[in-house]
Every structure is written in C-alpha cells, then in structure tokens.
C-alpha cells in the first residue's frame, strides 16, 4: 500500500512539472523577427525609345536591387500622353503601391494620376513642378528649374557676345519643366541682355527629325541667328546637325539639356557648345525612394538626406499650381573637354 502511494505521488509530481514547463496560452511562442513589408512601384516615362530614359531605368532597377522592393519602368515607344495614361490605367488595375510618372504633357496625365490616388496608390512625378496639387503627392526635381533656365541663358549669352537673335526649343508646349526653363531664360535675357533678340519658341515633339527640319527652316528664314537653347535631350542634336551641314559651327551658340550619348560627337566638332542636365539614373532612383518613404508613412522634411547624390539636403516648395515640389542640387555641365566624366 505504501509503495503504491509513493508511485501515485511521483506520477502527480511529474505531471505538474510537465504542465509548468509547457508554454501557456497567454505566452506567445517566439517565431523570430517578422519579415519586412515590401512594395511594388512602377515608373512611367515619356518613351522607352530614348537613351535618356534607358539611363533613368538603370536607376529604377538599382533602387529595386538595393531596397528589396519590386521596381520597374514602362513607357510608350513614342512620346505620347495618351499612351502614358493607358500605362497608368494598367498599373492601377495591377494594384501597384506607387507610381512615379514623368509626363510628356502634365495636364493630360493629371486625371489618370488622380484616379491612381483615389485607388490608394502613391503618386510621385518628375519634370512636373507645375502640376495641380491634387494630382500627385510630390514632384521631384534635380534642381530649381528657374535657376537652371537662367544658367542656360548665361552660358548661351556669353558665347553670343550678349547680342543677336536666338531661338528656344521645347519637347512639348505643355511640358511644364521645359517651359519653365525657357520662360525663365527669356525673362533673364530681357532683364540682363537688351541687345539679344528673341525669335520664338518651337516644339520638337521630342523628335530629333522634327527639330532638325524646324531648325533648317529657321536658318533660311533667319540667317543671322546666333543662339539656340534646347530643352529635350535631342533638341541641341537636331540643331547641331543642321548647323554642321551649313558650316556654321563657329557662328551659332548651341546650349541646352542633353547627354553624351546624344550630343558627344557634335560637342567634339563644336556644332553644339555646351550640354547641361543631370543624371537620369539618379532621378529614377530618388523618385522610388520618395515612394517608399510615403508607403511607410514616413515624413519628408526640408533638409532631409534622401541618400542619393545631389539630394542630400532637399528643399521643399509649393509649385505654381499647388504641387509639393522636392528640389535637389544635382545639375551638371559638360563640353568636349569633360564629357567623358558623364559617360551615358
């Protein structure tokens, strides 16, 4: 009897120890660190046929690789706002977390951007500082656009001897950034270079052949032209070709936005004098960084370092139509002497 009692007591003790060592319902089991949420961002550009945007795509893909998020770029084969809108509509249907849009025409893209926002998608633009404030969350610019336009004018005027006729080219008459550059340049000329004469602003439609033919006609109509300001990356190339064919390399100053892969040969011959701009890869990268900050609910503040060269100390201002605009300090200049430093 005594041995039986001892056995029963031992069994009770073992059972109580087992219960004590077992996890209770109130104590969660440690499953290790939770996986960080990832996002899907689509970047839409004016056209995938341009070297400029192939370079921008490099930055988008580099961002995706570094962040672990899914980041990709799409665009029409030719610069066309209606085609861009269709791509945005497709991204909305796919349920992406964010869209970075580089609009060919700012007003034409705004309704689709608003639709994306209504669907809970974060929208950041590039080259759209004049957009309506209710059509995006932020616009991202590499620099103050008016200051950039004034700088182009200073460079062109110095090469013209601050006198003579000049023309301006934009990719589209509704392209906000191009028109801000040219309008600020013209205003600076009127205030500072009274002996220069503005002939007109012309639309290249982001097409080098269109720009080339327009400039050839301008040389016939205005044989005394001494300066040309280009906005689309191919504008100075179009003018440079016409100038070189006419043997006027040393008589007309050509200054404008471009990249080496477009303007390099003409910079070497002197048909194009100076190219300005920024690295499109940095724009593609930083646009997606802003989308990620928004998706995570993080505040974007003046002076913030976005971790991308040229965007270490950002400025945030309100655009003319209410858009919140993030400005970096990322412009570059190059001619035949230093273009190899910007080999894209």
Q: Which residue has the higher pLDDT, 24 or 185?
A: 185
Which pLDDT does position 14 carry in this prediction? 39
Q: What is the 3-state secondary structure (H, E, C) of 176-210?
A: HHHHHHHHHHHHHHHHHCCCEEEEEEEECCCCHHH
Share of the chain above pLDDT 70, in %: 90
- At 137-153, the pLDDT tens digits run 999 999 999 999 999 99
Cα gap 316→309, rounded to integer Å:
17
Say how many C-beta atoms besides its own lie within 10 A of residue 176's C-beta. Answer: 24
Q: Sign of the CA dihedral 219, 220, 221, 223?
A: positive
Contact 114, 86 (CB under 8 A): no
Q: Is 270 left (phi over 0), alpha (psi -120 to 50) or beta?
A: left
Backbone angles phi, psi at 237, to 5 degrees: -65, -45
Crossing angle, helix 145-160 and helix 176-192, to 10 degrees?
A: 50
Mean per-residue pLDDT of the chain: 91
Say how many C-beta atoms besides its own lie within 10 A of residue 95's C-beta. Answer: 10
Instruction: Evaluate if residue 7 carries a pLDDT over 50.
Output: no
Dihedral Cα 116, 124, 174, 183, nearest 10 deg: 160
Q: Which of 227, 226, 170, 166 is closest to 198 using CA atoms?
A: 166
- At 18-58, the pLDDT tens digits run 334 444 444 445 555 557 899 999 999 999 999 999 999 99
Dihedral Cα 143, 149, 151, 152, nearest 10 deg: 120
pLDDT category at 176 given cuts 50, 70, 90 is confident
Q: What is the DSSP string of 18-36?
A: HHHHSPPTTS-----SPPP
Instruction: Evaluate if residue 299 carries a pLDDT over 80.
Output: yes
């Amino acid at each position: 009897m005594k041995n039986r009692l001892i056995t029963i007591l031992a069994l009770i003790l073992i059972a109580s120890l087992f219960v004590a060592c077992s996890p209770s319902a109130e104590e969660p089991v440690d499953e290790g660190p939770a996986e960080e949420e990832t996002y899907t961002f689509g970047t839409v550009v004016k056209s995938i046929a341009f070297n400029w945007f192939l370079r921008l795509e490099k930055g988008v893909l580099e961002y995706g690789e570094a962040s672990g998020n899914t980041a990709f770029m799409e665009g029409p084969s030719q610069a066309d706002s209606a085609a861009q809108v269709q791509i945005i509509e497709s991204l909305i249907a796919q349920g992406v977390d964010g869209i970075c849009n580089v609009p060919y025409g700012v007003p034409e893209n705004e309704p689709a951007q608003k639709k994306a926002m209504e669907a809970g998608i974060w929208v950041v633009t590039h080259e759209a500082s004049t957009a309506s404030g209710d059509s995006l969350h932020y616009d991202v610019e590499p620099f103050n656009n008016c200051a950039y336009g004034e700088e182009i004018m200073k460079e062109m005027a110095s090469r013209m001897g601050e006198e003579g006729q000049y023309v301006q080219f934009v990719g589209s008459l509704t392209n906000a950034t191009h028109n801000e550059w040219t309008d600020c340049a013209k205003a600076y000329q009127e205030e500072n270079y009274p002996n220069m004469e503005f002939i007109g602003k012309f639309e290249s439609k982001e097409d080098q052949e269109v720009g080339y033919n327009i400039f050839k006609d301008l040389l016939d109509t205005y044989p005394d032209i001494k300066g040309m300001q280009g906005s689309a990356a191919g504008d100075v190339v179009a003018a440079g070709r016409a100038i070189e064919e006419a043997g006027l390399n040393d008589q007309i100053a050509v200054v404008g936005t471009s990249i080496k892969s477009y303007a390099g040969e003409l910079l070497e011959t002197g048909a194009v004098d100076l190219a300005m701009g920024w690295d499109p890869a940095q724009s593609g990268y930083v646009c997606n960084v802003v989308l990620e900050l928004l998706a995570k609910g993080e505040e974007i503040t003046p002076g913030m370092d976005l971790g991308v060269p040229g965007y270490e100390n950002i400025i945030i201002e309100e655009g003319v139509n209410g858009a919140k605009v993030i400005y970096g300090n990322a412009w570059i200049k190059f001619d035949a002497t230093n273009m190899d430093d910007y080999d894209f």
